[in-house]
Amino acid sequence: MIDELLGRADLKAEIERLEEENERLRRRYEAESDRRAEATTARQEAERRINRLEDRIAGLEGELERSDEELDLEYRRRERLRGRRLSAVLDRLESFRADGEGALTATVRGTPPDPVAETLDERAALAADAAPCLVCLDDAGLVSAALSPPLVPDVAPTWDDRFRLEREWFLPTGRYVLALVRADLFALGVYEGERRREFRGFESDVKGDHSKGGFSQARFERIRDEQIDDHLDRVREALAEHADERLYLVGQREAVDAVAGDADATAAVDATGTPEPALEDAFRSFWTTELRVI
C-alpha cells in the first residue's frame, strides 16, 4: 500500500522488467559470443583444411607434370635386328671397353633394378617399357641400349669393364627344334644353327571364327572347340617325339600355351600360310632382336 502511495510500485515493476530484459540481453550476448567462438574455430579449421588441400593439389600437379614428362620420353632409336645386321651390332657392343667397372649389364623384367634406375634416372621408365630385355649401359652415358632377344637371360646387374653378352641368346646355335602352333596348323623344324635338317607339318579342318552356317551358335562353338582339341592332341604327339631336344614354340599365344609343357622358350608370332612357308616366317620372327636406344 505504501509503495503504491509513494509511486514505488511502478518503479519496482519497471526495475524487474529491466532486470529481465538485461538478463535476456546477457544470455543473448553469451550465446552470440559462443556462436562467434564456434564460427572462429570453424573458420580456422576451414582455413587449415584449405591449406592442406592446396598443398595436396600442388603435390598432384607436380606428379602430373612429372607424368607428362615421362610420357614425353621417347627412345632415341628403335630397330629390329636379325642375321648379319644383328651380328654387327653385337660385335660393336662386345668391342666396348670401360676403365675399371664402367659397363653395366642387367636383365629388366619389370621395375628396373637399382643400378639400372640410378644410371638411367628418369629414363629408367623406358627400360621398364622395353621389358623383358637386356640392358647395356656405361657410366659415361655413351652406351644406353635395351635389347629384346629371343632368349632373354636372367643376368643380375653386373658392373665390369665390358658388357656380358652371349651369342646363343640372340642367334641360333647348335641343334634345336622350332615349332609353329596355330589352332588349325602345325609346323616343326629340326635345326642346326640356321640350317633346317628336318621338317614336319600338317593342317586340321577347323571351322572358321566368323561363319557358323546352319548351326546354332552354341553347337558351332562346341564343334569348333572339339576340332581344336583334336588338332592340339596331334600337336602334342608330334612334340613328344622331340621331348629330349631344345624346344622353342611359337605361334598363336593360346595354342602355344596349351601345348607348351617344358618348352625352353615361347613367343607369339604372326605367321600365316601353309605349314612350310609359315614356319619360315616364324623362324625369321623368332630369331629377331629388337634394339631400343634409351
* pTM of the entire predicted model: 0.70
Domain count, the chain: 3
pLDDT at 111: 96
- Whether 60 contacts 127, CB under 8 Å: no
pLDDT exceeds 70 at position 67: no
Task: Say which residue, 231 or 100, is predicted with more confidence.
Answer: 231
pLDDT exceeds 50 at position 2: no
| Residue 89 DSSP SS3 | helix
- Helix, strand, coil in percent for the chain, rounding step 5: 50, 20, 30
Q: Residue 293 falls within a domain, yes or no?
A: no
E-strand ranges in the chain read 77-81, 103-108, 133-138, 144-148, 158-160, 175-181, 185-192, 195-203, 247-251, 265-268, 289-293
pLDDT at 11: 66
Q: Residue 187's beta-bridge partner residues?
A: 180, 201
Q: What percent of the chain has pLDDT over 90?
A: 66
Q: Residue 100 falls within a domain, yes or no?
A: yes
Rounded-to-integer distance, Cα 175 and Cα 128, Å: 33
pLDDT at 207: 65
pLDDT at 56: 77
106, three cell numbers: 642387367
160 and 87 within one domain: yes
106 and 25 within one domain: no
Looking at 39, 71, 103, the residue that finishes a domain is: 71
pLDDT at 5: 44
100 and 58 within one domain: no
pLDDT exceeds 90 at position 216: no
279 and 179 within one domain: yes
Model confidence pLDDT, tens digit, residues 175-198:
999 999 999 999 999 999 999 999
Looking at 11, 40, 71, the residue that finishes a domain is: 71
Task: Say which residue, 219 or 240, is predicted with more confidence.
Answer: 240
Looking at 71, 93, 113, the residue that finishes a domain is: 71
Which among 69, 153, 148, 137 is positioned nearest to 105, based on CA atoms? Answer: 137
User: Which range of residues forms the domain containing residue 147?
Assistant: 77-169
Q: Residue 7 falls within a domain, yes or no?
A: yes
Residue 208 binned pLDDT confidence (cut-offs 50, 70, 90): low
CA distances from 294 to 45, 95, 112, 113, 165 (A): 49, 20, 13, 16, 18
Model confidence pLDDT, tens digit, residues 104-161:
999 999 999 999 999 999 999 999 999 999 999 999 999 999 999 999 999 999 999 9
104 and 60 within one domain: no
69, three cell numbers: 614428362
Q: What percent of the chain has pLDDT over 70?
A: 85
pLDDT at 28: 77
CA distances from 226 to 231, 254, 285 (A): 9, 15, 30
What is the mean pLDDT of the segment spanning 28-43?
A: 71
47 and 91 within one domain: no
Which among 165, 163, 194 is positioned nearest to 178, based on CA atoms? Answer: 194
Burial 226-255 (b: 16+ CB within 10 A, else e): ebbeebbeebeebbeebeeeebbbbbbeeb
